[in-house]
Chain A
Amino acid sequence: MTAFLLWFLATLDGAFTGYREAAGRSALIDKRRYFRRAMIKGALFAQIAVVIAAVVVIVSIMLVTDGQDLVRAYDRAGAHMLFIYVPYAVMMLVGFLFRLIPSVDIRSITSTVIFGPFTLIRPVVAVLGLAYGIASAARPATIIPGLIVLSMMLSLETVLTFWRKQA
């Protein structure tokens, strides 16, 4: 369950990173198709980070003698990361729910109060979640896959921009 939730949040974060990377680059009025494609691309790129982290996790479990203990440590680390990441994700989703209300003021407030500040603190939240997870697991082996996913998720926007320039 923990692994599934982390994968889901990474995919969601990837999709919104795709949206953010695409925003401000097209001046058309109707951009639904453009943003849909950008979000799918972001979510797909996030899978690369997930797959690499999964491979590192599996290999590390295979290499140690106390594999079961390491699995439990990963699970503990993941569960603690969720303590930080789930409230953050819930706040963003609450923002989207409010955004459904057809009022220019309420929609603007979601940007002022939620989307703007929460985008600003996203890297801090990502680092805090990882640090909390690693600290609670108390196994150095959890550091490497954690850092791999963190660095890949935080550089996702740059990677998407690089990809756009190449295309």
Chain B
Amino acid sequence: MGREFNRRVSQLKSQPLLIRLLWRALSIPDAGPEISDRIVAFDAQTFQRQPVSKEAVVNEFLLLENRTAAEIARSLPEKSEGMLDPEAMDRLLIKVHCEMQRLSEEFQHGQRVAEVLDSLLQSLRDNHVRPPLRIVDIGCGTGFVIRWLTRHKSLGEDVELLGADYHPALIEEAARLAAAENLSCRFVVGNAFRLAQPATIYISTGILHHFRGPDLIDLFSQHNRESTCAFLHFDFHSSSLSPFGSWLFHKVRMREPLAIHDGVLSAVRAHTPQKLLSAARSGAPEFVSAIYGTRLWRLPIPRAFHSLVGVRPPYRSDFLSRMGRKVNVLGVIE
């Protein structure tokens, strides 16, 4: 973490003075982690909830000179002996996910995912991949993407939609929301890569930047399963404009200070397309990967989100032909 912090600071120092001043004036955080990464903890094997010391969280942010995050952490409710109140943290994270969904809706994220997924699924059908075509959303939170895809029935009857997350409260909320709208999708607490019925396509939104260094390569290496034909991961596009754009939208649209802080920091921490491609190729060499959505149409304007797509070589040409002119519209780095 210390190395990453130093890298971000030196990166910031290399920016023009005006950018640096603006960065400071808007209190844009320099480096991770995000507050939501620290206020809940689970055992990776048993998924048992672990207590989190509030003081430890506050001190970690103070050490990183992230005073905004330290203040937000300091304001969080305690249960006993200086430990954060787990139920209050669950309620807070559900609220934050609800606010995040607002941005996803505004930026048409459901439709955006559906457009690429549709081409991926068609290419698998062209190659007679046996149904059901199971799509698993890694770190689905309250399951917006899975619920949106189910509600709009845009992918076909042979598709099974499943969301997985470590956090039981978020999964419970996802299931509650799905039931409220009679949606047939499923949500499970657990590791998306250790499900009894593995995914045909793994998808995710906004999780890649949480994985740093070897953890990112390790994440991709878990895609190397016989039954997995493709993956599609959306995350913030790293550019010098993205922290400012992210700041504007989180200030205008979000209410929870934690949501604003973490949302802006997500854009700051976003991996470059080159880094994502390099990690995907190291971790998942069985797949042909590329980044889509690098620029807006043919203009040199970066998009807020880009997507890392990996497909097994036999499906690649059909995928590209199914994408058609969308590839040019999205822009691609291979």
CB pair A104 B248 closer than 8 Å: no
For residue B108, CB closer than 8 A to chain A, the reply is yes
CB of B123 to closest CB in A, whole Å: 21
User: A-B contact count, CB below 8 Å?
Assistant: 59
CB pair A108 B248 closer than 8 Å: no
Q: Considering the chains assembled together, what is the distance between the CA atoms of A26 and B112 in angstroms?
A: 21
Mark the stretch among A66-74, A76-84, A86-94, A115-123 that contacts chain B.
Answer: A115-123
Q: Is the interface of A mostly helix, strand, loop or mixed?
A: helix
For residue A128, CB closer than 8 A to chain B, the reply is no
For residue B173, CB closer than 8 A to chain A, the reply is yes
CB pair A108 B107 closer than 8 Å: yes
Q: Considering the chains assembled together, what is the distance between the CA atoms of A120 and B151 in angstroms?
A: 32
CB pair B148 A105 closer than 8 Å: no
For residue A151, CB closer than 8 A to chain B, the reply is no
- Given A104-B115, A111-B106, the answer on whether A29 and B147 have CB atoms closer than 8 Å is yes
List which A14-52 residues lie within 8 A (CB) of chain B: 23-30
- Given A29-B147, A108-B107, the answer on whether A24 and B101 have CB atoms closer than 8 Å is yes
The bracket for how many chain B residues form the interface is 20 to 34
For residue A155, CB closer than 8 A to chain B, the reply is no
Q: Considering the chains assembled together, what is the distance between the CA atoms of A119 and B248 in angstroms?
A: 10
B97, B248, B249: the one within 8 Å of A27 (CB) = B97
- Given A112-B245, A120-B251, the answer on whether A27 and B108 have CB atoms closer than 8 Å is no
B98, B112, B144, B297: the one within 8 Å of A24 (CB) = B98
For residue B304, CB closer than 8 A to chain A, the reply is yes
CB pair A120 B147 closer than 8 Å: no
CB pair B248 A28 closer than 8 Å: no
Residues of A within 8 A of B102 (CB): 23-24
Mark the stretch among B56-64, B216-224, B252-260, B273-281 that contacts chain A.
Answer: B252-260
CB pair B111 A105 closer than 8 Å: no
CB pair B248 A120 closer than 8 Å: yes
Interface string of B224-247 (1 = CB under 8 A from A): 000000000000000000000100
List which B98-128 residues lie within 8 A (CB) of chain A: 98-99, 101-102, 106-108, 111-112, 115
Give me the 10 closest cross-chain CB pairs, A-B, nearest first.
A24-B102, A104-B108, A29-B151, A24-B99, A27-B98, A108-B107, A119-B252, A104-B111, A111-B106, A104-B112
Q: Besides the contacts A30-B181, A120-B248, what 11 more A-B pairs have beta carbons closer than 8 Å?
A: A24-B255, A25-B98, A27-B98, A28-B177, A29-B181, A107-B108, A108-B108, A112-B245, A116-B249, A117-B248, A120-B251
15 A-B pairs with C-beta separation under 8 A: A24-B101, A24-B102, A24-B254, A27-B173, A28-B180, A29-B147, A29-B148, A29-B151, A30-B151, A104-B108, A105-B297, A105-B329, A107-B108, A108-B108, A111-B249
